[in-house]
Structure 1
Amino acid sequence: MVVQDSRLLRVQHAMKQSAQVLLLALLVWMLLALLVFTYFADFQLNQNPKTVSSFNSESSRSTYSQHSGRAIKSSSNARWGVFAERRGPYQRRQVFLPPHAKEYFYFRKFDRRGLGVKKSKIIPPEDNDRDDYFSNPWSVVRGLWKGHVSSRMLSAKLQRAMKDHVHTNKHRVLYKGQRKLNKSKQELLCQMKEQAQIRTLNGTEQPFADLGFKQLVSPPLQQKYRTCAVVASAGAILNSSLGHEIDSHDAVLRFNAAPSEGYERDVGSKTTIRIMNSQILANPKYRFGSSLLYKNITLVAWDPAPYNIDLHKWFLHPDYDLFTPYITHRKAFPEQPFYILHPSFIWKLWDIVQSITEENIQPNPPSSGFIGIILMMNLCEKIHVYEYIPSMRQTDLCHYHELQYDMACTFGAYHPLLYEKLLVKRMSTASEEDLRKKGKVTLPGFSKIKCLL
């Protein structure tokens, strides 16, 4: 009996030890599984460039990057919460990488008309909905294709940034014109033809007359091209294979420091005109005086003056000093056409956008993209614009030649980009298939627009 009890105790003890070992192994396995899951989840987020789109902290809600200027390249091993600062036109801007937060999985829903719906769900993002963890940018893109968008469709972050700019009103904009919202395509084209005739500095106004600008300016810009291509710098143009089609045009417009070398298959190789914001001329990193990007083509520069067009104040305090590089370049290369857009032309374009928009748009100058499109409507009989309105390749990669990700580059924060793009779509004769597949907009030049007197 004693022997049997002893054996039973040994068996029970062995079973107890086995259970403890099994429990310990189970805990170790669960810990390893958790570590592996966390590693691969973070790795997937880091590898997906479309996730880089949000603000870093509450203190930075009022600053947001926008669709102009050039960014420094983001470090490939940057960690969450780290941001890179860059200097661009009009303000100090910041490019943020996303924080690790439950906000990732909040999406704003939209109905078929593209209008916001109050109710929202917490759902995991699908592969085609990872562009912006605060809203679905594809709803905005589809709205642009249809010609029906509103700022209410944008993420809360972008809406806040837009409202901040409206409140700040840096350029003291005071719009006194009328608003007519339901203009037909023909009415819009005729308004543009009447009010958006190109104007450049001619050296006859003060203070430029006393400074001898009249002897520096190039002959007036005039309409002389049959077909023109406007090539946006958006990241969506990558993998488009549009290069051959772009180069088939009589003239090609490019923006700022966007290169063609190395990207010929997608953006072409021809450059006829380059439009630049003043930062390109003033910032040494763009090598305006020496780079081949700015040689043997027509150059057009712009800088925002006060809304009341105070030329004296503008000359003394431009956003970036474009006048000194302009004078130096004109003296060194007097045969190269080089123009500075008159501020009245810039702000007239803003007035036009506001005049057909019910909402108060950002009181800041239009984007280089919109300015360039209207410039070419002055110079060409027919204009094709590529990836200004995003195609099915839409991405939050700001520029095809830089590693910077921000949905504001597509939909606007500082510039009234959303409203500009809606106006361009309303004037376009392109099919939705062209918009979807090529990001292509077709516009008539002013010389081809017939209007009743």
Structure 2
Amino acid sequence: MILQDFLLPGLRHVMKQSAQLLLLALLVWMLLLFAVFFYFTDSQVTQLHRTTSIFNSESQHSTHVQRSSRAIMASHNAPWAMFAERRGPFQRKQVFQPPRAVEEFQFRNFGKRRKEYRKNVMKPPETEFSKTWSVVRGLWKGQVSSKLLGQRLQQAMKNYVLSNKYKVLYKGQRKANNDRQEILCQIKEQAQLRTLNSSEQPFAHLGFQPLVPPQLQQAYRTCAVVTSAGAILKSSLGREIDSHDAVLRFNAAPSKGYEKDVGSKTTIRIINSQILANPQHRFNSSLIYKNITLVAWDPAPYTIDLHKWYQNPDYDLFNPYITQRKNFPEQPFYILHPSFIWKLWDIVQSNTLEDIQPNPPSSGFIGIVLMMNLCEEVDVYEYIPSMRKTDLCHYHEKYYDAACTFGAYHPLLYEKLLVKRMSTAFEQDLKKKGKVTLPGFSKINCPL
């Protein structure tokens, strides 16, 4: 009993100490576990934060590069250019851009975006692509409105109407129900071809007389207008296009390598002023501008102030034009008179009740009416999209945007609707070939 009384208190003391040590060890183990847990959790959050920061930084840098590349384009690509300084024949004016203009640069559809930008452009969302088909079907039927466009294009159009860079003040009538014959007679009466000559100032004073070739006149029976639309790829229309007496192409669109779809013949090439001014297009050396008739254009103010236009064109086309005419006087080369450009705009606006963009018409519409002046019959390919409709802007460039088809800067949607209303093409030609057929002015009989 004495031994038991002696051992039990010691045993109890040892067990108490062991329990305390066990609890302490358990506590330490739990603290260590929590420390490890928080360490890895914090590392992942930090890594995620860093990744997100890098992504945002790269996105901002990419956006800045894209905006910068667009900002150096001429006012064909800078719709909000309001203050400009003349730099020289091959330098772009510096422009002021209000904040809301940033998104608008993507809508200019002349195909003048920098190559490094084009390579990184992704296709638009499938939902946007699908939505465009309702607009295409509306064009096939000759019944379409800007309300069918996506919100992005609608907003861009509204912004251009509000900006009114060229100070357009349309005072004519508007009518949406003119029939085909009325439209044809209107365009024949009001859109007679006019090119720059030496009789008006400041060009008479500047000595343009020996530079300007004789006026362009009707010379062809059948003509093809080949747009640069991406939908012409895989069309196999090349042979049909080349069967025409004359073929019109646009800007820097090549035929080499695409002969099966677009043909190989080129008779006339209509070029906007950037082709002349921007060294990227190699106007002085590229073979696509040689041995054909050239027709250049640049929009003047809506008031047709020729002095102001000469001093401050969207791109400096006059110095390159003078140089080219002196070096190659045998090559027919014309500059469209600004009054011709704005007459076409007036015609488009007069045939719709909606407010169209107060910017010059597209090269496509200008080229179509140009050929109606020169030809007895004009076939236009992929101006109104066929069943091959795609958001690929141009067949020779990897850039996607529905604005290239339906317009944002240019009133393309309204131009195409007007062309459809004038066309005599069969529905199958329109859907399968993207082809519309128009009579030349010489074949349009109007009441006296």
What TM-score range do you get, normalising by the shorter chain? 0.7 to 0.9
Shift of 1:179: 1.2
Amino acid paired to 1:317: N
Per the alignment, residue 107 of structure 2 pairs with: 65
Aligned residues: 350
Shift of 1:304: 0.4
User: Do residues 132 (structure 1) and 132 (structure 2) align?
Assistant: no
Per the alignment, residue 47 of structure 2 pairs with: none
Contact 1:280 1:286 in 2 (8 A): yes
Counterpart selection for 1:210 from 194, 205, 208: 205
User: Do residues 253 (structure 1) and 248 (structure 2) align?
Assistant: yes
Q: Trace 1:7-18 onto structure 2 (pairs within 5 A).
A: none
Per the alignment, residue 59 of structure 2 pairs with: none
Shift of 1:58: 8.7
User: Do residues 343 (structure 1) and 346 (structure 2) align?
Assistant: no
Moved over 2 A (4+): 57-64, 69-78
- Max Rg structure: 2
**Could you report, residue by residue, the CA deviation over 1:12-62 in whole angstroms, capped at 9, with x for unpaired residues?**
xxxxxxxxxxxxxxxxxxxxxxxxxxxxxxxxxxxxxxxxxxxxx998444
Q: 1:213 to 1:244 in 2, by over 3 A?
A: same
Per the alignment, residue 438 of structure 2 pairs with: 443
**Could you report, residue by residue, the CA deviation over 1:306-353 in whole angstroms, capped at 9, with x for unpaired residues?**
000000000000000100010000001101100000000000000000
**Identity fraction in percent:** 74
SS of residue paired to 1:253: strand
User: Do residues 366 (structure 1) and 408 (structure 2) align?
Assistant: no
Structure 2: distance between partners of 1:360 and 1:371: 20
> Under a length normalisation based on structure 2, what TM-score does the superposition of the two structures give?
0.76
SS of residue paired to 1:384: strand
Structure (1/2) with the larger helix percentage: 2
> Under a length normalisation based on structure 1, what TM-score does the superposition of the two structures give?
0.75
SS of residue paired to 2:106: coil
Q: 1:77 to 1:288 in 2, by over 3 A?
A: closer
Instruction: For structure 2, list consecutive stretches of 5 or more residues without a partner in the other structure.
Output: 1-98
Counterpart selection for 2:230 from 207, 232, 235: 235
Contact 2:156 2:408 in 1 (8 A): yes
SS of residue paired to 2:107: coil
Contact 1:69 1:277 in 2 (8 A): no
Structure 2: distance between partners of 1:315 and 1:73: 30
Per the alignment, residue 150 of structure 1 pairs with: 145
User: Do residues 178 (structure 1) and 220 (structure 2) align?
Assistant: no
Amino acid paired to 2:252: A
SS of residue paired to 1:136: helix
SS of residue paired to 1:334: coil
Shift of 1:76: 8.6
SS of residue paired to 2:405: helix
SS of residue paired to 2:346: helix
Contact 1:256 1:274 in 2 (8 A): yes
Per the alignment, residue 271 of structure 2 pairs with: 276
Per the alignment, residue 387 of structure 2 pairs with: 392
Contact 2:223 2:371 in 1 (8 A): yes
Contact 1:69 1:279 in 2 (8 A): no
Structure 2: distance between partners of 1:342 and 1:131: 41
User: Do residues 415 (structure 1) and 406 (structure 2) align?
Assistant: no
Contact 1:298 1:338 in 2 (8 A): yes
Structure 1: distance between partners of 2:382 and 2:127: 17
Counterpart selection for 1:303 from 265, 278, 298: 298
**Could you report, residue by residue, the CA deviation over 1:142-165 in whole angstroms, capped at 9, with x for unpaired residues?**
100000000000000000000000
Structure 2: distance between partners of 1:324 and 1:131: 46
Q: Trace 1:31-110 onto structure 2 (pairs within 5 A).
A: 60-73=102-115, 78=120
Contact 2:118 2:399 in 1 (8 A): no
Contact 2:161 2:357 in 1 (8 A): yes
Per the alignment, residue 405 of structure 1 pairs with: 400
Amino acid paired to 2:366: I
Contact 2:392 2:399 in 1 (8 A): yes
Counterpart selection for 2:313 from 306, 311, 318: 318
Q: 1:296 to 1:409 in 2, by over 3 A?
A: same
Structure 1: distance between partners of 2:299 and 2:103: 24
User: Do residues 332 (structure 1) and 327 (structure 2) align?
Assistant: yes
Instruction: For structure 1, list consecutive stretches of 5 or more residues without a partner in the other structure.
Output: 1-56, 84-95, 99-103, 105-129
Amino acid paired to 1:312: H
Structure 2: distance between partners of 1:58 and 1:190: 40
User: Do residues 294 (structure 1) and 289 (structure 2) align?
Assistant: yes
Amino acid paired to 1:68: F
Counterpart selection for 2:261 from 252, 263, 266: 266
Structure 2: distance between partners of 1:291 and 1:441: 31
Amino acid paired to 1:72: R
Contact 2:238 2:260 in 1 (8 A): yes
Structure 2: distance between partners of 1:384 and 1:425: 12
**Could you report, residue by residue, the CA deviation over 1:387-433 in whole angstroms, capped at 9, with x for unpaired residues?**
00000000010000011111000000000000000000000000111
Structure 2: distance between partners of 1:61 and 1:196: 34
Structure 1: distance between partners of 2:117 and 2:366: 32
SS of residue paired to 2:197: coil
Q: Trace 1:109-124 onto structure 2 (pairs within 5 A).
A: none
**Could you report, residue by residue, the CA deviation over 1:166-212 in whole angstroms, capped at 9, with x for unpaired residues?**
00000000001111221110000000000000000011100000111
Contact 2:302 2:342 in 1 (8 A): yes
Per the alignment, residue 93 of structure 1 pairs with: none
Contact 1:238 1:266 in 2 (8 A): yes
SS of residue paired to 1:180: coil
Amino acid paired to 1:431: F
Structure 1: distance between partners of 2:214 and 2:430: 36
Contact 1:147 1:422 in 2 (8 A): yes
Shift of 1:63: 3.9
Shift of 1:131: 6.1
Alpha-carbon RMSD across the aligned residues, in angstroms, is: 1.7
